[in-house]
């Protein structure tokens, strides 16, 4: 399965408290997200303010994309929401 990530800017979704981003799976755009909690716990976001979460996403973009790619592959190409616990598992 070919998973790539365009250079589109991530978007903060305050209603769901996630940062949304796009992955392309076999050339088809797929909406993915990482929770504010995961960004605070693992990527240094100091609060749930939009600016803090987007900065943390930018700082952790490579690892976030790596974990996202594996999660997409494990879900047979379905959209994923990356939660804090997933990064604990990936680190072990």
CATH number (domain holding residue 83): 3.30.160.140
Structural domains counted in the chain: 1
- What pLDDT is attached to residue 30? 97
Q: Which residues of the chain have pLDDT under 50?
A: none
- What pLDDT is attached to residue 14? 97
| Cα 64–Cα 5–Cα 18 angle in degrees, nearest 5 | 50
The domain containing residue 11 runs over which residues? Answer: 3-91
- What pLDDT is attached to residue 88? 86
- Note the pLDDT tens digit of each residue in 26-48: 999 999 999 999 999 999 999 99
Maximal CA-CA distance, the chain: 35
């Amino acid at each position: 399965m070919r998973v790539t990530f365009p250079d589109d800017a991530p978007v903060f979704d305050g209603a769901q408290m996630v940062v949304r981003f796009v992955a392309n799976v076999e050339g088809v755009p797929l909406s993915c997200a990482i929770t504010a909690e995961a960004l605070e716990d693992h990527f240094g976001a100091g609060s749930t303010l939009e600016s803090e979460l987007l900065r943390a996403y930018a700082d952790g973009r490579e690892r976030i994309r790596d974990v996202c790619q594996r999660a997409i592959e494990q879900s047979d190409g379905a959209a994923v929401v990356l939660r804090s616990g997933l990064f604990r598992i990936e680190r072990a």
